[in-house]
A and B are shown apart, each in its own frame.
Chain A
């Protein structure tokens, strides 16, 4: 079966050109992942700032061209979609942007970003129907239509603007929503509401979701599978329950250890004291990108990038600590993913 959207060996290099790697910044390194049309899935892509999450999203949306590799929409390279296919792609695959301010024009009212898709795709046959569609979407993300419509972007708080982006993606009834940090500016209760909304869209409407975030906790609550990115490369991937309960890559362990517990009686443990690297130093590193922060650093870690080792049926880890396991034979990550039908109902 052809996938709805597939990333094949996707690599993005900024600056320097492919053959001058010392100057170049590899924002995304050889990522392969496919999202099937059915059954609907929820996949988390987690990583720290600068790990390549937004780069991945932009490539998937065709907003930026891969340096090598390709993105296929129903089997066709995004660069070769014909008019009708492109139109269908723009409806099927929706994005929620990390920085809502990229999307808002300060001179237009909020209504504009919501009306544009309705008009462009002829989603409503009358003004009243268009308004109903917009209002319904706003309410489903916890906003009052009468207090949101008619306002300018600067009259809303950051979290309010972010929720409008979720509402906007709903209007198009897409097959896949790529959500880039959709909850980074909202509080816990609203976060739970937005996560619930996304889960509901997935279960009720069969929409697949790629949930991009640095927030491991919400990723865990929402998703079945996870890809942990570190500086553009896949550090670890697989079934999220397993990855969170038995993290393998030292970076994933660090990430899990740093999640602040909402309990003042259980303080953060030992603080890792890294001196952060500048972009230049990191571009020149040829071994494992995590080596300089890794408590288990070995000589081989500085020589070459570790391959992905298959440590369990639904778990791959790119770290030499697991070199006893064989390197993975799968060509795309989702071959290591669990299917929802294998999971206990939640």
Chain B
């Protein structure tokens, strides 16, 4: 269970704009374990989709993967020739992209859209086997079989998202990345889609990276969570521990800002603005908004390190020599 299927090391992705590079992924390092569901959360613009696209090697100019390593089951994805990488997609690692349900082809029924994905990967099946396969996929994502013969506009949002998931799993990938798969859906459908993803992950033995900003959804859907801030991970840990006892000041404020139906109160946002991803000064990116920053935070960028067993955090308050400062505060 502790073996990693995916190892991401120091992943860097920059978007080169006229006025400098936007460092959207700035040295991201994490592991995805076999069978695990990992949640990536972080504010809008923190680089979540960028990481998803980079893992698939689908970053488009002016974006560029500047460095780092991505090992999928030991294979270094960033070093593969494009043709090999194309074969890995869907088969080994699949993405349900942000807004995917709106990019289904509107003039094509569902069946040919799934067939296309299979054919792209030279899966040669007799027409009966193909039809069986599509039925099986629809069953797996909880759709009626007749959905194959409908057009996207005849489907509800939740159904469209399920079609996208069916396409993503059609070759039984080992890793499924779902980028905000339920953000556009209402809570009832959201929950059903999440349950489907969970069940599927188990049935296929696949590991899942779930990207989102809804902490409530994460609390219910993943095993482990990684909190992103300004292009980098600032905290990781089991979802139970991170919620019960967040370490990084950003995570603490994020959890405190969650509204509930149990209390009516002005939930407070985190004051200040997200930092620029260009011209990053050497300091902790959260320092300008951090209520407990110390001098060191202005001059040195903290790196993600183990704070406790199975818990990592990037914060100077938790590095060994200043641990007493932290206890005192």
Contacts and interface: CB of A to CB of B under 8 A. Distances in A.
A250 B44 CA distance: 34
Given A221-B266, A268-B220, A188 B214 contact: yes
Given A184-B184, A260-B220, A279-B154, A144 B261 contact: no
Contact of B186 (A48, A142, A275): A48
Contacts of A162: 44
Contacts of B41: 187
A188 B243 CA distance: 14
Interface string A246-282: 0000000011101111111101100111111111100
B186 A192 contact: no
Given A157-B45, A159-B44, A271-B192, A214 B269 contact: no
Given A188-B214, A346-B264, A49 B184 contact: yes
A247 to B, nearest CB: 10
Nearest to B144: A275
B219 A256 contact: no
Interface in A193-220: 193-196, 199, 214-218, 220
Interface string B39-58: 00111110001000000000
Contacts of B99: 158
Given A260-B214, A264-B220, A264-B243, A186 B44 contact: yes
Contacts, number: 186
B106 to A, nearest CB: 14
A282 to B, nearest CB: 9
Nearest to A272: B188
B261 A244 contact: yes
Given A260-B214, A278-B150, A158 B44 contact: yes
Interface residues of B, number: 65
Contacts of B185: 48-49, 214
Of B44, B142, B158, B219, most buried by chain A (CB within 10 Å of CB) is B44
B140 interface: no
A162 B45 CA distance: 12
Interface stretch (B67-75, B165-173, B250-258, B315-323): B250-258
Nearest to A187: B213
A50 B269 contact: no
Contacts of B214: 187-188, 260
Contacts of A47: 186
B98 interface: yes
A258 B191 contact: yes
A258 B50 CA distance: 30
B294 interface: no
A185 interface: yes
B259 A189 contact: no
B191 A271 contact: yes
B187 interface: yes
Given A217-B259, A244-B261, A261-B220, A50 B157 contact: yes
Nearest to A160: B45
A244 B260 CA distance: 11
A157 B211 CA distance: 14
A241 interface: yes
Of B188, B221, B265, B276, most buried by chain A (CB within 10 Å of CB) is B188
B267 interface: yes
Contacts of B82: none
Given A187-B42, A216-B187, A192 B264 contact: no
Contacts of B98: 158
B239 interface: yes
A196 B266 contact: yes
Contact of A220 (B186, B189, B264, B278): B264
A275 B254 CA distance: 35
B156 interface: yes
Interface in B190-216: 190-192, 195, 213-216
A188 B215 contact: yes
B4 to A, nearest CB: 22
A244 B219 CA distance: 22
A254 B188 contact: yes
Contacts of B43: 159, 186-187, 189-190
A278 B221 CA distance: 27
Interface in B14-56: 15, 17, 22, 41-45, 49
B216 A261 contact: yes
Contacts of B274: 142
Interface of A: 47-50, 142-144, 147, 151, 155-160, 162-163, 184-196, 199, 214-218, 220-221, 241, 244, 254-256, 258-265, 267-268, 271-280, 346
Top 10 nearest A-B pairs (CB, nearest first) are A159-B44, A193-B269, A187-B213, A48-B186, A260-B216, A192-B269, A214-B186, A157-B45, A49-B157, A258-B187
Given A48-B185, A158-B98, A190-B269, 18 more contacts: A142-B273, A151-B17, A155-B15, A160-B44, A163-B44, A186-B213, A187-B213, A188-B259, A192-B267, A196-B268, A216-B187, A255-B188, A259-B261, A262-B243, A263-B219, A264-B240, A268-B191, A276-B156
21 contacts: A49-B185, A143-B273, A155-B15, A157-B44, A159-B44, A159-B45, A186-B43, A190-B269, A192-B267, A196-B268, A214-B186, A221-B259, A255-B186, A258-B188, A262-B243, A262-B260, A264-B220, A265-B243, A265-B244, A275-B142, A279-B153
